[in-house]
Amino acid sequence: MNLRPVMVVGLASLFLLTGLAMAKAADVKIGVVDMQYVLNNSETGKKAKEAFNQKLEEKKKEISGKEEELKKLKDELDKKGAKMTPTVRKKKEEAFQKQLGELQAMAQTGQQWVSQEEEKMAAPVISSVLKMVQERGQKEGFTLILEKSRGDILYMGQGVDLTEETIKQYNTEAPKAAEAAPPAEPATPKKGE
């Protein structure tokens, strides 16, 4: 893949952004919001986190109970396994393997549950905060409002997004650059290839 067009677009975008920034330096107003901090410290976020933690404790107890059952079965096999008949020992080992598989599946399902519940917990708070941030951005004349920890754009004033202009410029300049570039010569095989 030829990275030259990508570099051209990147440099053009950088120059456009730098030019825009220099031309309107006095008009630029940028803010940041730490959404994770809002989730952890807002009243709604705290209540949601508390409800989530209660559900999480229930899941942990369920998994701990299964782990305890598995540990007892393992101890029984270790202590009494040599005295068991081969048939009884085989049944106990199969039961152990089955319960181990169930515990692993339960743990995996639990991890998926945690991710889904965290998203469900956070979604209404994030949605409300995002709406407030966007309204504040318009009302107070912000150019950009970024999410502090990740750098995501939460609000962007009009005229800041240069994507369409960059596409137009690229569509105009890329064919000219391709025409001006000398054709690539085919690679000559080395001896022994």
pLDDT in tens, the chain (193 residues): 444 444 444 544 555 455 555 555 557 888 888 888 888 888 888 888 899 999 999 989 988 998 998 898 888 888 888 888 889 888 988 988 999 999 899 989 989 999 999 899 888 888 888 888 888 888 888 888 888 878 777 777 766 665 677 677 777 776 676 677 666 565 555 555 5
Q: Considering the entire predicted model, what is its pTM?
A: 0.54
DSSP string, 33-67: E-HHHHHHHSHHHHHHHHHHHHHHHHHHHHHHHHH
Neighbours of 134 (CB within 10 A): 15
Q: What is the number of alpha carbons within 13 Å of residue 79 lying toward its C-beta?
A: 6
Label residue 33 exposed, middle or buried (CB < 10 Å: 0-12, 13-18, 19+).
buried
Distance of CA 160 to the CA centre of its chain: 25
